[in-house]
Structure formats: structure tokens, C-alpha cells
Structure 1
Amino acid sequence: MDCTHGVFARHLFEESQPRISEARTHGYMGNSELEKAMKEFTQRCANISRIYSIGKSVKGIPMWVLEISDKPGQEEGEPAFKFIGNVHGDEPVGRELLIFLANWLCDNYGKDPLATLIVNNVHLHVLPTMNPDGFALRRRGNANNVDLNRDFPDQFYPMNDIVSLRQPETKAIMNWIKEQHFTASASLHGGALVANYPWDGSQDTRKQYAACPDDKAFRHMASLYSRSHYNMSLSKEFEGGITNGAFWYPVYGGMQDWNYIHGGCFELTLEISDDKWPKANELPVIWEYNRMSMLNLVANLVKTGVHGKIFSSDKGRPLPASVMIKGIDYRVNASRTYGDYHRMLAPGESYEVAASMPGFQSKSTHILLEDEAMNLDFILSPEEGSSKHEEVRKECECTGDGRDRVEVVEFLRGINLGIYLLLSAIFLLLCCLLRRKTMFKSLNHRNGHKRPIVVQGFDGNA
């Protein structure tokens, strides 16, 4: 371990590493070739993809993202996952593997159950390169020689709090995370073989295990990746092929912790190749070693955890309420459009799940989360004498552009009609009219899911 400016750094990440030779870059896509490959992909796989940019690098290179879904560009009541590659310019394996991943999903959609599950039930966003300038320069930092994985605001130290001093690539990622409702994500790195999870730093900068509130869930996600990998779990350096970030080496200003704290997003940092810049002819093998890990990590969003929708008992409107787990100091917010939430949890545990929102009575219930995902919907009743729920109603009407009634109808399709016997006749009529129509595709109709548990808007806990 070395200590530079009070922050620990591991020797394999230092700028003193030998410069990458021109010969070593042969076989890797340059930035223009990568852009061309992404655009060609969206033409070949137009039915399940789109391309968009989240910003530009210091040198003005667009940061292109592929979205892969059966309804790309449309908002749905589904979880979203993002992969980010090439955070460090001299770690290019991720950018190549993400193109392999996209093409595999396209080629196998409708044929392979896992590919079909992912495309139909997840909005997957793929950013092959966060640092195109660093890649072109064949160095770790960006064009300003800044390590982008030290450029995010940090919980332990007042780092990077001046917005004007952040790098454009960092700003683009932060804005992207705030705009999208990501459930989980992973960034791909090189130089080791291990799945890293929060916290990345500790209060006193010492190398020590620093557990975040969702330590069990993160350990489950990291272990899932490691066990699915060809040989990551066999590591002699890291037990089970996983590590807590601060226990390995503390990082401050990292993207992983910022995602979890400010984005409501469970992010892993994946070291996928011992060699930072292996020869290009080794890439297909590295892809095969990581393929099932990458696929299983995305599919984990719908195969495990607790998922559901939250809405108001008086008008049936979706509510952007918060979901809390007793004993875990962390909240996940439901979406404003559909009221859907997606909460990563370690299986094999009992949990008390609560939904709350100002102006409404909080509701909670106990669940036993086994190996499969659980669907848990909440119906919240307005508090008597509170004007908060009326403010929510008006806000929904103002932001819905006239779509709120349609969204409510779509939302109601996936819910057991029996629970609405207590609601008004208008909703009974709407449900009857829609009985013969195609059911709204939601979490409680996904492969392997059980019928949803509904916590209704009565006083007391279910």
C-alpha cells in the first residue's frame, strides 16, 4: 500500500505503470469504430434497442449509451440496470465485453430463456466507455489527467463538492443517474479478478471492512457474479472472489458509493481481467469467462428481491412512496409514473417491509424472502385531515399531461380484482371493461413469480 495525498492507492493503479504500446492496442476498437459498432447494432437490432448520448468528454467525444429492452425508450414499471465500461482509460476490456454482451442478447432474444427474460423484463443501459479520451491517450485519467473514479462527491470527506471543478464525464454520469431510475449497476475495470462492493472508503482512511446498510444484499450480488464466473470464485487472494472495497484498499470520490447513496442504485465494481490491457485475441475468452456472470447479474433484478407497486386507495393513483426495510437504514423510492419499486435484498431472510409517504398512512408487513423474487403491493390510505395527499393528486395531474387516467388503468390490470370490492363503483366498472384485454405486463406476471401480496389501506399493519 502507498499513501498519496492522504488517500490509499494500490500499486497496480498508479500512473507509473509502463505505457501501453501501439502494438498492444491492435484489435481493439478505437472510439470512432466503437461508435460505428453501436450504431450498426441499433440498426440490426432495431426492435430491441436504441442509442442515445448522455454528454461529451473533455475532447468532445459523445458518451454513447445503448438501451436494450423490448420497449426501448419507453417508461415501464420495470427495473433498470446499467453497465459502465472503460472508467479508466487504460482498462479497455469492459468496452469490448459490453459490445459482446449486446450482440449476444440480440442474437439470442426469443431463443434463449435468459436473453428473453432480460430483454422483456429489464431496461438495460450499456455505456461501453466513460473515458474515451483516456482510452485514446492510453492512460488511466481523462484528457485532464483526472482519475474519474475519484471525481465523485464523497460521504466521508468534502471532496469534489464544487460542481464547476468536476470533469464533464463525471457530470454526465451524475445527471444520467438522476434522470434514470436505475435499480442496480456495475462498472467494469481491469488489473485484478474480483467483485468489489461498498463501502469503498472508511471514516479514518484505514484499510478495514466498512459495511454499508445493505451489506448482505451486496455480498449476495457480488457472490452471484463470482460464482457464475469461470474462475473468479477460486481466487487465492480474495475469499470467494469478492471483497469489501475499504477492506481491499480505501477509495474516496468513487462512483460506486455515490450511486448507492445518491442514486438509489446498487452498484458493484467488477475487476474482470488480471491484465489491464490484454492482447485483443484474448478478448473472446475473457468474454466467455464473464458472460454468465454479466447475464445473471442483470437477471438478478427480476429473479430475486422484493418488487411491487404503491398507489392511493382513494383514486388508485400510483404513488412515488418510499420503501423501507426494518433494521436497514436505506430507502428505495417508487417511480412517479407507475408507482413501481424494486428492492434488492439477500434471499433466505425474513424482512419487515414498510411503505410510507407524507399525507398517507404508512403500511408494513413481514415477509420471508426465499430464493425467488416476491411481489408486494401497497395500497396507502390518505391521512384524515391531511392536505398532503391532495397535493400529490394535483401534482400527478399536472405532471401526467393527461396520461394519469390511462396509467392508472394500465396499473390496475396487474392487480387482483378482488381487493377493489372496497373501492368505488367507477373502478369496478373500469376493471370489468378491461378484463378481456391484454393484461398489463408487470412484475407479478414475470416467469417464476408468485401472485402478489397486497398490503391494503386499512389501519394497522398487515
Structure 2
Amino acid sequence: MNIKFCIIFSLFLRNVIARGGDRINPLSSASDLGFPNHGYVVLARHLFEDNQARHPRTDITRGYMTNSELEKAVKEFGRRCSHISRVYSIGKSVQGFPLLVIEISDKPGKEEPEPAFKFVGNVHGDEPVGRELLILLANWICDNYMRDPLVNLIVDKVHLHILPSMNPDGFSLKRRGNANDIDLNRDFPDQFFPWNNDEDARQPETKAIMSWLREIHFTASASLHGGALVANYPWDGSLDKRKHYYACPDDGTFRFLASIYSKSHYNMSLSKEFEGGITNGAAWYPVYGGMQDWNYIYGGCFELTLEITDNKWPNAMELPTIWEYNKMSMLNLIASLVKTGVHGRVFSSDRGRPLSGLITIKEINYTDIREHFGICEVLFFSVQDAISAEF
């Protein structure tokens, strides 16, 4: 059988690290890569640091959506924006709350040779900002489709999946863990210490994520957390359990993705604690059983852990500002799947049927193979010298 194929690619740049502390436009480097520059001026790292102590609150949930309100908001979005979205469930929490996902695409629910990206919010119950920002993101995309070129690129060229809350039970209980008081970001299979490799023993929220990744071959993803201001990337742990930089095979690519988020953010890249506003997980503090490393190892999905607020549960009045600080970061990170990387389709010349394919990268000890209905989806690599494609 004759085979014809096309490969379109642009290589990831290496060592994309911003210098923290300078009064610069955080999007200057992002614009050089083809991302929009909205002219933000960065002044400080912390949000409302002078005001937080002046407004003590007894009800920290005031102004945040309840779980019922979140479910209503997701379903209302699905009705309002049905032309470019669908709403579906990947399972239920311990207490039976549906884990609803919004998919945004020009052809939602259909298989296409396009990258899939997922956002996951509220992994920890006491870090609720992500669930609010993800609803804002979905609505902003809906409102600006056919108006904003970046939004058009995302809708037309990416399948975006948004899970606003992975841990609704923890949110309602105002605690980190789920209803069984299990930290969901320690509940995934671990490459170093396989103490939790019995899938049946995992939490329903964890199993839902694992089944979701088996069903949809995500190219990249990010989970939204709180308690710091930094973009975190693998590896999250190390074999010796020591706190030190432990690079994964695609370290350059992860640094690139993390830098896109950090430098597109209002002030993340100016961090005095983390150079360029990014960090290797194991260099910060080791985590085992985390979702980030599991996505990369078992799903071939390039996941970041995004710490988006110093305060885990900021006053709800700050949410509009936090959204503005993170909006371009979120959009640019999704768009990077189209603007960079290796893109390809493989099909037979006689029948035009999709075929399986393999791309090998020289000088890297990892190959991410995406084969879904015979279509090679977008692949990301840290490319040093050359690419050789084998089909």
C-alpha cells in the first residue's frame, strides 16, 4: 500500500525563562512567539496584599458559587452556547455530585485531527478560585467567538474541555480532601512508589479522571490551585525523596509551556521566590501520587499545575481582578497547542483512510505516540537537533 503523509511543524524554543523582578511587560516574549500583547504593566507579585488583613471574614464562601449554583451555571452555559459547546459528565463525587465538563469546539463531541486540552479546577476543596475562573473562561470564549482572532483559533483548531470542579464535596466541606478526607492530588498511580496502584481502591473522583483520559487523548492540560503564584511542571517527585530539581525527558517543553503561562500573566513572571514564575515540582517540594506526573506518564498528556493565588480562598471581591490577571495566560496556553509543536496526519493514498503513525525524536528518551482512530494528533517534544518521522 502506498502511503502519503503531511507533517507541519514548528519547533519549541529551548530555555525560555523570564527574569523575575524586572518591570517589564510580561507578554513581550509571548508576543514574539505570535501571541497577542495587551500592554499590561506589572507592578507587584501579590494580590491585594495590603487589603487582605483589613477585611476579616467569618464566611469565606460568601460570593463564591455553591455546588448547586455551579451546576446551574454549567448547564445554562450549555444552553446559551450550544453552537460551539456541549456539556457532559465524567462521573460523580463521593456524595453524588456530578462532575460536569464543558467541551468547547466548532464541532463539539466529534473526532477531529485536532489537539485536545483540558482545564481542571478545584482539585483541592479549599482552593476554589479555579472553578470560578473556568466558568468565566468558558463564557468569555462564548461571548468573543467570531470577534477575537485568538478565540477563533481556539474554537476552530482545539477541543477544549473544562472541568470546573474535581472536588465539589471538599468545597462544600471547606477542606482540602474529598468527602472521605483523601487528598485527590496524592491518589494517582506513582512512578516511584506504587503503593496506590489498585485502581478499585481509589476515590471516585480520581477514577473519573483516569477513565476520562483513557477516553479522550489529551495533548496537554492544566489544573488550577491556590496558595502560591507559580507554574509548576514535572517531575513532581524523585526516587530518593529529596528536594531537588528532577527533570523529566521533556523538561525543555514543560519549561516552555510554564513560561507561556507565567509571562502572559500580569505578574507571575516577576516572582522573587521562583525564577521566571515557574518551578520544577521536585525542586519546590516533592509530591507522590500526583495528577500531573500521572497524566504525563500514563496518558502522554503534558500537564502543568498552576498556582494562581497566594491566598487559597481570597475574598470573592478579588475574583474579577484575578480573572484579568490570568485570562491571557489561560488563552495563550491553549493556543500554544496550535501555534507550536508537531502537527500531522497519516493516511493511505488509495483509500484515504487514516493510518497509525510513529514519530521518533533524536536525543530524547521519551516518545509520545498519539493514535486515535488512526489519526496522529498534535505532539509536543523538546527537540534538540533533528526530527525523524517513521510511518
> If the length of structure 1 is used for normalisation, what is the TM-score?
0.71
Q: Distance in 2 between matches of 1:336 and 1:291?
A: 31
Change (3 A) 1:21 1:160: farther
**Structure 2 partner of 1:334:** 370
Please give the per-residue CA displacement for 1:431-460, whole angstroms capped at 9, x wherever unaligned. Answer: xxxxxxxxxxxxxxxxxxxxxxxxxxxxxx
Contact 1:48 1:69 in 2 (8 A): yes
SS of match in other structure, 1:333: coil
Q: Which residue does 1:245 correspond to in 2?
A: 281
Q: Please say if residues 76 and 338 of structure 1, whose CA atoms lie closer than 8 Å, have aligned partners that are also in contact.
A: no
Size of the aligned set, in residue pairs, is: 336
334-343 or 272-281, which moves further after superposition? 334-343
Equivalence for 1:351: 386
Which runs of structure 2 are paired with 1:120-135 in the superposition (5 Å)?
Answer: 120-135=156-171
Alignment of 1:204-283 (within 5 A): 204-283=240-319
Assess if the C-alpha contact under 8 Å between 1:77 and 1:338 holds in 2: no
Residue of structure 2 aligned with 1:141, choices 166, 177, 197: 177
Which amino acid counterpart does residue 139 of structure 1 have in structure 2?
A: R
Corresponding residue of 1:68: 104
Task: Tell me, in whole angstroms, the C-alpha distance in 2 between the residues paired with 1:150 and 1:21.
Answer: 30
The answer for the alignment partner of 2:60 in structure 1 is 24
Structure 1 stretches of 4+ with a deviation exceeding 6 A read: none
Shift of 1:316: 4.1
Helix, strand or coil at the partner of 2:377 = strand
Of residues 342, 353, 372, the one that matches 1:306 is 342
Q: 2:217 touches 2:372 (CA, 8 Å); kept in 1?
A: no
Alignment of 1:84-103 (within 5 A): 84-103=120-139
Q: Secondary structure in 2 aligned to 1:55?
A: strand
Question: Is the counterpart of residue 34 in structure 1 residue 74 in structure 2?
Answer: no
TM superposition shift of 1:181:
1.0
Query: 2:204 pairs with 153, 164, 168, which one?
Result: 168
Give the distance between the partners of 2:57 and 2:356, measured in 1 at CA.
51
For the aligned residue pairs, the C-alpha RMSD in angstroms reads: 1.5
- Which structure 1 segments of 5+ residues have no match? 1-19, 355-362, 364-379, 381-462
Which residue type is aligned with residue 385 of structure 2? S
| CA deviation after TM superposition for structure 1 residue 160, in Å | 1.1
| Aligned with residue 92 of structure 2, among 56, 81, 89 | 56
Closer, same or farther: CA 264–328 of 1 in aligned 2, 3 Å: same
Structure 2: tracts of 5 or more residues without a match:
1-55
Q: Is the 8 A contact 1:320 1:333 kept in 2?
A: no
| Residue number in structure 1 paired with 2:34 | none
Letter in 2 for 1:245: G
| C-alpha spacing 1:21/1:263, structure 2 compared with 1 (3 Å) | farther
Deviations 1:123-162 (A, max 9, x none): 0000000000000000000000000000000000112111
Q: How big is the shift at 1:312?
A: 4.2
Contact 2:261 2:329 in 1 (8 A): yes
| Equivalent pair of 1:227/1:233 in contact (CA under 8 Å) | yes
CA distance in 2, matches of 1:207, 1:105: 39
* Contact preservation (8 Å) 1:153, 1:258: yes
Code of the aligned partner of 1:76:
E
Question: Structure 1 CA distance, aligned partners of 2:168 and 2:148?
Answer: 33
Letter in 1 for 2:121: G
Q: Partners of 2:58 and 2:388 in 1: how far apart?
A: 55
What code does the residue aligned with 2:71 have?
Answer: E
Query: How far apart are residue 343 of structure 1 and its match?
Result: 1.3
CA distance in 1, matches of 2:57, 2:125: 14
Letter in 1 for 2:297: I
Q: Secondary structure at the match of 1:125?
A: strand
Query: How far, CA to CA, are the matches of 1:124 and 1:322 in structure 2?
Result: 25
**What corresponds to 2:5 in structure 1?**
none
TM-score, scaled to structure 2:
0.83
| Alpha-carbon offset, residue 83 of structure 1 | 0.1
Greater RCO, 1 or 2 (C-alpha within 8 Å, sep 6+): 2
| Displacement after TM superposition at 1:328 (Å) | 1.6
Distance in 2 (alpha carbons) for counterparts of 1:85 and 1:22: 24
The residue number in structure 1 matching 2:150 is 114
Corresponding residue number in structure 2 for 1:293 = 329
Which amino acid is the alignment partner of residue 163 of structure 2? L
Contact 1:332 1:341 in 2 (8 A): no
Distance 1:338 1:298 in 2: 24
CA contact (8 A) 2:235 2:280 kept: yes
Q: Is the 8 A contact 2:362 2:385 kept in 1?
A: no
Q: Report SS of the residue matched to 1:350.
A: coil
Check the 8 A contact 2:269/2:276 in 1, yes or no.
yes
Q: Once the 2 structures are TM-superposed, how far is the Cα of residue 318 of structure 1 from its aligned partner?
A: 1.5
* Distance in 2 (alpha carbons) for counterparts of 1:35 and 1:292: 25
Residues of 2 paired with 1:28 and 1:256: CA distance? 26
- TM-superposed CA distance for 1:313, in Å, is 5.4
Contact 1:312 1:319 in 2 (8 A): yes
Aligned letter for 1:182? F
| Partner SS, residue 129 of structure 1 | coil
Q: Distance in 2 between matches of 1:342 and 1:163?
A: 29
Larger Rg: 1
* Equivalent of 1:319 in 329, 352, 355: 355
Alignment partners' CA distance in 1, 2:57 and 2:98: 25
Offset from partner CA, 1:275-312 (integer Å, 9 cap, x none): 00001110000000000000000000000011101234
CA distance in 2, matches of 1:22, 1:323: 56
Taking the aligned partners of 1:314 and 1:45, their CA distance within structure 2 comes to 40
Structure 1 residue 164: Cα displacement: 2.1
